[in-house]
Structure 1
Amino acid sequence: MKLAETARPGFWNRSHHLDKMTFRELVIAYVQYPAIIAYTALALIALGLYAWQPAPLVPTLIAVGVSTFVYPLVWYVLHRWVLHSRWMFKVSPLAATWKRIHYDHHQDPNHLEVLFGALHTTLPTIAIATAPLGYAIGSYWGAGFGGACIAFATGLLTTCFYEFVHCIQHLAYKPKSKWIAEMKKRHMAHHFHDENGNYGITTFFWDKAFGTFYDRADRPEKSATVFNLGYTPEIAKRWPKVAELSGGVATGHPRQRDR
């Protein structure tokens, strides 16, 4: 047998499922994932630019604080009204994007490759959500550029944190932290019981503020669209783009389907 036939494929040329991984394996996968490397590299560049043209301490702290505070709200808005929308798959140019950024994740919640966000959608979102705020805050002290850089870096590092917590929530692992364990419980309900709620990843403050926070006991009946986000075989007949890209519409529990 030739060496090429026995050699294992590259790490990210293989498929990874969090329900079959250990915490150590997740950490190894996480630090090697291209998106995480990109976020980290861009954050270092943004911090370098901030060091070149820094903002004073007060606007810097305000920009970091505001960026950190607004991030969960931006995530909530996008998660609820964009990722869980039932209009994107009806627009042909957006169907592939919707499939990649969220439909695939709900079809198979533990598939690591589709859990991470796609850079062409996440990077513009992070920049728009943070850099203008940082620029406005810094400009008051005559340091708009530095404020924008530190805010953008904060958004990128917050994204890395979000992605890691999100991975842990899908990992076959019981978190030692009560806070993460509670977040995991709520997030699993979002994926395996009723997708119409518990949209947060690291906080459910905005779910509680907008009335979408729930416990399974509050909703005894399981949602019929928890795995397909409303993109049913009937809907696919009218708007087939996502089904064509997916090789059909998967039905039933992900663990009961053939990989």
Structure 2
Amino acid sequence: MVAQNFVVDLNKALVFQVGHLGEAYQEWVHQPIVGKEGPRFFDNEVLEFLTRTVWWAVPVIWLPVVCWLGYSSVQMGLTCPHLALLAVLGIFVWTFLEYTLHRFLFHIETKTYWGNTIHYLLHGCHHKHPMDGLRLVFPPAATAILLIPFWNLVKLIATPSTAPVLLGGGLLGYVMYDCTHYYLHHGQPKIGVPQNLKKYHLNHHFRVQNKGFGITSSLWDKVFGTLPPSKVGAKSM
């Protein structure tokens, strides 16, 4: 049951508290607390450890896998031009997946206990504590688990020689996404594309949270009409 007028105690583990907010969860989670120190998620030390990931773990772990996947395709006869083309295609597909996941899964509206709890773990925690540097990238263990169904899907639609590099391209796109996301929150770009991307993403966090779902690019926001206005008069959820 949802407790009426429930108040989250930020000094205690949060994950199993937020579900009690019920319909008030959406308003609560979109009121960011700006601070580099993240909250505690779980009382259990092992679970708490698994929620924290340093940003550099993503390229260190997954770039060798990307290279191995590309090499596997070459070993099966794929030429270097075809390898490059398919890797770029994989990255392009990732940008679409990045947008759709962010828009339709990470920003789904919930109000039940478990709905709120799962949403908070997936993405709500990032909007509540957007500067939490240890919860900006996806934990490698979770990524490894999700790679299994994606690999099976790619094998269904691609040939044996092209499947590895397609998955590798998508995985490279993911690495670029996670590293870019971390930089947009903690880097200080001064000019050009990086600065514009940072403004674009922080606009999503602090002004218009129901638009601007791209991270590495605003392409799909332009295609699907979710590009935020350049000037916003009021904060929107």
Give % identity: 20
1:150 to 165, 176, 183: 165
Q: Distance in 2 between matches of 1:70 and 1:128?
A: 16
Deviation for aligned residue 1:125:
4.8
The CA distance in 2 between the partners of 1:153 and 1:172, in whole Å, is 27
Look up the equivalent residue of 2:36 and give its one-letter code. Answer: H
Letter in structure 2 aligned against 1:30? W
| Bigger relative contact order (CA 8 A; separation at least 6) | 2
Aligned residue type for 1:17: K
Aligned twin of 1:70: 93
Task: Tell me how far 1:162 sits from its aligned partner.
Answer: 1.3
Paired position in structure 1 for 2:36: 17
Cα deviation digits, residues 171-199 of structure 1 (max 9, x gap): 251344x1111111110000111210111
Equivalent in 102, 113, 119 of residue 79 of structure 1: 102
Structure 2 unaligned spans of 5+: 1-34, 38-53
Q: Measure the CA separation in 1 of the matches of 2:88 and 2:155.
A: 10
Q: Cα deviation per residue 1:138-163 (whole Å; 9 max; x = unaligned)?
A: x2xxxx2x311111222222222111
Query: Which structure has greater helix proportion?
Result: 1
Name which of 167, 182, 187 aligns with 1:167: 182
Superposition misfits of 4+ residues, deviation over 2 angstroms: 35-38, 40-63, 89-92, 94-98, 118-137
- Does residue 90 of the first structure (1) align with residue 98 of the second (2)? no
**C-alpha contact 1:190 1:197 (8 A) present in aligned 2:** yes
1:17–1:130 distance in 2 versus 1, CA, 3 Å: farther
Counterparts of 2:130 and 2:214, CA distance in 1: 15
1:116 aligns with 2:126: no
TM-score normalised to the size of structure 1? 0.61
**Structure 1: stretches of 5+ with no match in the other structure:** 1-15, 19-28, 226-259
Tell me by how many angstroms 1:101 deviates.
2.4
Aligned residue type for 1:50: S
**Which whole-Å CA distance do the structure 2 matches of 1:56 and 1:77 have between them?**
32
SS across alignment from 1:98: helix
Give the aligned partner of residue 23 of structure 1: none
The aligned counterpart of 2:233 is 220
Change in Cα spacing, 1:202 to 1:121, as seen in structure 2 (3 Å) is same
